Homo-oligomer: A and B are copies of this chain.
Amino acid sequence: MDQTVLLAHGGGGVQTQELIDRIFKAHFANPYFTADDAAVLPLGHERLAFSTDGFIVSPPFFPGGNIGKLSICGTVNDLACMGAQPLWLTCAFVLEEGFPLADLEGIVCAMAETAKAAGVTLVAGDTKVASKGQVDKVFITTSGIGRLLGNVHTSGALARDGDAILVTGDIGRHGAAILLAREEFGIEAEIESDCAPLWHLVQAVLEKTDEIHVIRDATRGGVGTVLYEIASQSQVGIEIRQEDLPVDPRVSGICSMLGLDPLYLACEGRLVIIAPHKEQDRLLATLRALPHGEGAACIGSVTGRHKAGSVVVETAIGAKTLLPRPTGELLPRIC
């Protein structure tokens, strides 16, 4: 293993997992320490979900949102993915000396609005200021507490042979929006981030059936990374169909130009939901009737035909190839 921290250690892929295993798990090992989006903790007669997430997106303002909106959505969605109703959030800011207060207010405004839309309350905060050059503009860490619904039990380890794999909308829009906002490629296109709080979608599907096995939000590593994580945690094979992947044509266009795969572009408002195929139709109908779920689609299956831990793509012409594993740095780096 490398002897210093690499950008790839923060990419959400294999190296991130190595760092977690070697350093964090080795020292923090305990029964509650989670490999999922949030820890599940017993308190009296309740089960709590508890989660934390750091946000260092550059640029902090982008079409469809800003780092403030993102920081609320990220933690709300991590709690939601555990089947927990998000209740309370805290936020910790690290601000660079010289950061415009008007920008800070824009960020805080977006946080308040998004929290309201998500039905959560911001209960505590912390502000540190770093000298100019000691931090890049603004970092935000949000943490959240949610309450698990009665008998919900979802986990990345519960995908089973024969399950359908759903996504709640078109993929890769956040990554593409950030890429364009950087203006490094001279490409002009109007792409808005998909960034959104999604508890209402989770609540709706959990009300439809007790048989939801996995709910994950596809964030920095995109849908491809999430699928590999699930394949590994559940020790199953996964097959997806290229032509069933919902991708906005503008996102496809950018991916073609830059040689990127939308499966590895970040989403910040998309869930991967895994449940038995018999539930597929009414889950899709439920999702499509709700905001941020209009573009829901079934993209493939969990299947015993492929090796445990592998993700296979059936291309438009019917060929089946292994999806390249998520390794190394994110392209583009969006956090």
Contacts and interface: CB of A to CB of B under 8 A. Distances in A.
A197 to B, nearest CB: 16
A308 B261 CA distance: 64
Contacts of A141: 52, 54, 92, 126, 141, 143
Interface in A119-137: 121-131, 133-136
A51 B90 contact: yes
B134 A5 contact: no
A4 B101 contact: yes
A112 B39 contact: no
A61 interface: no
A37 to B, nearest CB: 9
Contacts of A55: 128
Nearest to A144: B143
B95 A52 contact: no
Interface stretch (A24-32, A150-158, A201-209): A24-32
Interface of A: 1-11, 16, 19-20, 23-24, 27-28, 30, 32-34, 38-39, 41, 43-46, 48, 50-56, 58, 87-88, 90-102, 104-105, 108-109, 111-112, 115, 121-131, 133-136, 139, 141, 143, 145, 147, 333, 335
